[in-house]
A = this chain, B = another copy of it.
């Protein structure tokens, strides 16, 4: 069922960048780019590395055959996914009314099982400008082995696909690059095109300004953060520890900080760079709390990226050592595992840790220590992701403050800004950006490009002025060691500590810590003055 707002959004007509308006009048103009790919990448991608950037320009009208294209949504949802499909569909139909768009169900696995649906105008009708990925679903399956590539080839051949559009994050786009190379090497004519999706914002570069979904998610989170700040100012007695999504990078936290001005925001990348200890992080929070307390302010807001503790060097060491100690092969495993008394278990493990890891382990609250020893995954690995970082920090700050000064009032409340952000109704920005990305994918496929990822840039300008085209996927790749093997992968972009966004945050944060410079952006608006409805993430503005 649709709410009134959802119904209204179904009717929303995304503005279209000028270069993408008449898709049958576009041409792909190759532009040389500096190839920074290593030899290893060139070797691995003999056919698709070294390709040029493709800019979409307006040209003269050209007649197109009907195209058959497949699309899949991969990984976690990001607001705007349905609009990528709409943009793609509308462009294919504009090329030729007999063009066909096939949606593969449940992500990459739909390609492996050939479970699919033809996307029709009728079907799309109920998904335009809506949140979620539910039109065809998604999954975290990967197409990455030779065997899977062969099955994928079979599927695209059976469906006579001219192109396959993979909407996904860094991993999915890595796989898209390999698949493109594989198809080319096999003489399979299906072009593979990636679309940059992830609310985490870690798929961006000088060639791709931002991934889609980031804008909406940050706006949803900033709405909540702003509300809790207002609560702080009124109740004057709580410290909110707000955990934000973003396991590998702190873009969301940084963006939300710029939107709302919290008293403190942890940026994982900075913590890693400075080699901060867990105690150091706790101390930095305590310092802020004490300074505010001296000013009579026993309230505040702290933003915590969900992945932060994995960026603390000593925690990394600790996790590694615990994984070794508790590995099924370890001689200690059985003894510790069998011990039923939690306290004894903890003492046993602590004794086995190095001097680099032991103090960190001993500084953790007891329930976290126990969790690290008990809650391991099927491979025996410590599940860092299960640790409720914000609650752990709350408890550690509380203990530490007690030692510093008993009289300091500290009443923390935790909040997790989670999946409500990734599945929200897309903002105007994401609606329009995604619709444009979909059109770009169609144009690239029509132009015969493969191994490319769509870009739409110049996003801080009016929509008409947005620029678009394709970046060779290999251009985003770096060599990384994963599971002991060096592999070319699409790079996850971390927060640039030399960049403008971080530097803006850095300049202002001392003031935010003590003053109440809070800003409440409020809920996303879809109607009204453009400055209220068409805002763009700070990260690309600064």
Contact = CB atoms under 8 A, between A and B. Distances in A.
Nearest to A515: B1
Contacts of A2: 519
B234 A137 contact: yes
Given A132-B234, A423-B234, A415 B418 contact: yes
Contacts of A526: 525, 528
Contact of A228 (B9, B233, B420, B521): B420
Given A3-B522, A528-B528, A131 B230 contact: yes
B224 A522 contact: no
B415 A416 contact: yes
Nearest to A517: B1
A220 B227 contact: yes
Nearest to A259: B3
A419 B231 contact: yes
Contacts of A524: 523
Given A230-B132, A231-B422, A235-B138, A532 B522 contact: no
A325 interface: no
Given A419-B231, A423-B231, A523 B223 contact: yes
A489 interface: no
A529 B416 CA distance: 33
A525 B522 contact: no
A138 B519 CA distance: 21
A224 B521 CA distance: 16
A518 interface: yes
Copy tally for this chain in the complex stands at 2
Interface in A361-400: none
A419 to B, nearest CB: 5
Contacts of A531: 4
Interface in A511-542: 517-529, 531-532, 535
Given A415-B416, A423-B227, A532-B527, A3 B234 contact: no
From A76, A523, A524, name the one whose CB has the most chain B CB atoms within 10 angstroms. A523
A504 to B, nearest CB: 15
Contacts of A261: 1
Contact of A231 (B5, B132, B224, B519): B132
Interface string A207-248: 000000000000010011011101101111010000000000
A131 B521 CA distance: 12
A73 to B, nearest CB: 8
A522 B5 contact: yes
A292 B77 CA distance: 23
A413 interface: yes
Contact of A522 (B6, B132, B419, B518): B6
A424 interface: yes
B520 A3 contact: yes
A421 interface: yes
Given A4-B532, A133-B234, A415 B420 contact: yes
14 contacts: A4-B535, A5-B532, A6-B522, A77-B231, A131-B520, A132-B234, A137-B236, A223-B420, A224-B420, A227-B420, A231-B420, A238-B419, A525-B527, A527-B527
Interface of A: 1-6, 8-9, 76-77, 130-134, 137-138, 220, 223-224, 226-228, 230-231, 233-236, 238, 259, 261, 413, 415-416, 418-425, 517-529, 531-532, 535
